Amino acid sequence: MPTVGVVGLGLMGASFALAVKKARPELTIVGFDRDAATALKAMDRGIASAAGTDLDVIEMADVVVVAVPILAMQDVLMSLRTHAAGKVVTDVASTKGIVMEWASGAGIDLVGGHPMCGRESSGIDAADAGLFGGAPWILTRRDETVIGLVEAAGAHPLVMDAATHDRLVAGVSHAALLLSVGYVLALSGRADWPEASKVAASGFRDMSRLAAGDPAMSAGITRTNRDNLLEQLDAISHSLARLRRHLEADDPRLVELFEEARSVRERWSTDVANSRPTPLRGELPPGGAGPGGASSRRTPLGPSPRRGEGGSP
């Protein structure tokens, strides 16, 4: 029976284990976590058949999924190189360039991965089998084994090289995190924040959501995608300055900027609503399928059976 090893049983790792087990009950899941209580919970809750604080458990796996915080990745990859020899290895880290370098340095032929989803809560107690449903899952190259797991989790895979991933995600995800943090700090630093906090409602809740995430995770993301983030922040600062000039001048053309932004947001929303995930057939340039081209290794796991439209609810 094919076995999947999950290294890191927090929100992402445990959710992944639950999702693939739900879709592919014939799979065996084994797990590693440095926290003994977390490993015990994973077994007690049926998330993993076997779990522990020793990486030896991963030697039972055919495929290894690394789901640890990004700043722990380098050490974990180095520790894994003997335990994961000859296995397909992938990850879920939010930045890819530096992680691919770390993997190469550890002698691991990593199929880089990043599911474009998450939530503010963390840890195994927040695990949810539906977390990945309908989400894009970026891969740095094609690998049929990893594709099968991604589709089993309910996500739709998309191939792009690591540099393109980091540049694009800096804009649509990582910069949003910094804006959320900056917004919260700006408001909470005002003398009237105690009064303002009492009237804060949906606008504040939506804008501050990303600031509620794990600070260590946020620090890891920003530290490992710094250059792309600085470029995005410069562009956002330019847009904010433009809005400020129009506002200060009481320029009636300010509404045109609101209209433009709404139009972009509505087109994106429509595109998302109309899209239907297909097995890995869409790829973004440049870089094609990345190192290794279209070739891929296959283990007994194989691709997943066809799922109903929309993946997990």
My answer on whether 92 and 237 are in the same domain is no
Q: Is residue 232 part of a domain?
A: yes
Domain count, the chain: 2
My answer on whether 104 and 222 are in the same domain is no
- Section 200-211 average pLDDT: 96
Q: How much of the chain exceeds pLDDT 70, in percent?
A: 88
250-271 confidence digits (pLDDT tens): 999 999 999 999 999 999 999 9
- pLDDT for 274 equals 83
- pLDDT for 1 equals 54
Least confident of 120-129, 193-202, 240-249, 276-285: 276-285
Instruction: Evaluate whether 14 touches 124 at the Cβ level (below 8 Å).
Output: yes
- pLDDT for 305 equals 34
- Section 83-109 average pLDDT: 96
Q: Is residue 293 part of a domain?
A: no
CATH code for position 206: 1.10.3660.10
My answer on whether 131 and 76 are in the same domain is yes
Domain containing 238 equals: 164-274
Between 283 and 135, where is the model more confident? 135
147-177 confidence digits (pLDDT tens): 999 999 999 999 999 999 999 999 999 999 9
23-61 confidence digits (pLDDT tens): 999 999 999 999 999 999 999 999 999 999 999 999 999
Q: Is the pLDDT of residue 279 over 70?
A: no
Q: Is residue 261 part of a domain?
A: yes
- pLDDT for 289 equals 35
My answer on whether 179 and 201 are in the same domain is yes
3 state SS for the chain: CCEEEEECCCHHHHHHHHHHHHHCCCCEEEEECCCHHHHHHHHHCCCCCEEECCHHHHHHCCEEEECCCHHHHHHHHHHHCCCCCCCEEEECCCCCHHHHHHHHHCCCCEECEEECCCCCCCCHHHCCCCCCCCCEEEECCCCHHHHHHHHHCCCEEEECCHHHHHHHHHHHHHHHHHHHHHHHHHHHCCCCHHHHHHHCCHHHHHHHCHHHCCHHHHHHHHHHCHHHHHHHHHHHHHHHHHHHHHHHCCCCCHHHHHHHHHHHHHHHHHHHHHCCCCCCCCECCCCCCCCCCCCCCCCCCCCCCCCCCCCCC
Least confident of 24-38, 60-74, 292-306: 292-306
CATH code for position 60: 3.40.50.720
My answer on whether 103 and 127 are in the same domain is yes
My answer on whether 44 and 146 are in the same domain is yes
Q: Is residue 58 part of a domain?
A: yes
Q: Is residue 225 part of a domain?
A: yes
My answer on whether 11 and 147 are in the same domain is yes
| β-pair partners for 63 | 4, 88
Residue 280 banded pLDDT, cuts 50, 70, 90: very low
> How many CB atoms are closer than 10 A to CB 313?
8
My answer on whether 105 and 178 are in the same domain is no
- pLDDT for 66 equals 98
My answer on whether 205 and 122 are in the same domain is no
For 172-204, give one letter per residue: b (16+ CB within 10 A) or e. Answer: ebbbbbbbbbeebeebeeeeeeeeeeeeeeeee
Q: Is residue 282 part of a domain?
A: no
Q: Is residue 49 part of a domain?
A: yes
My answer on whether 57 and 124 are in the same domain is yes
Q: Is residue 170 part of a domain?
A: yes
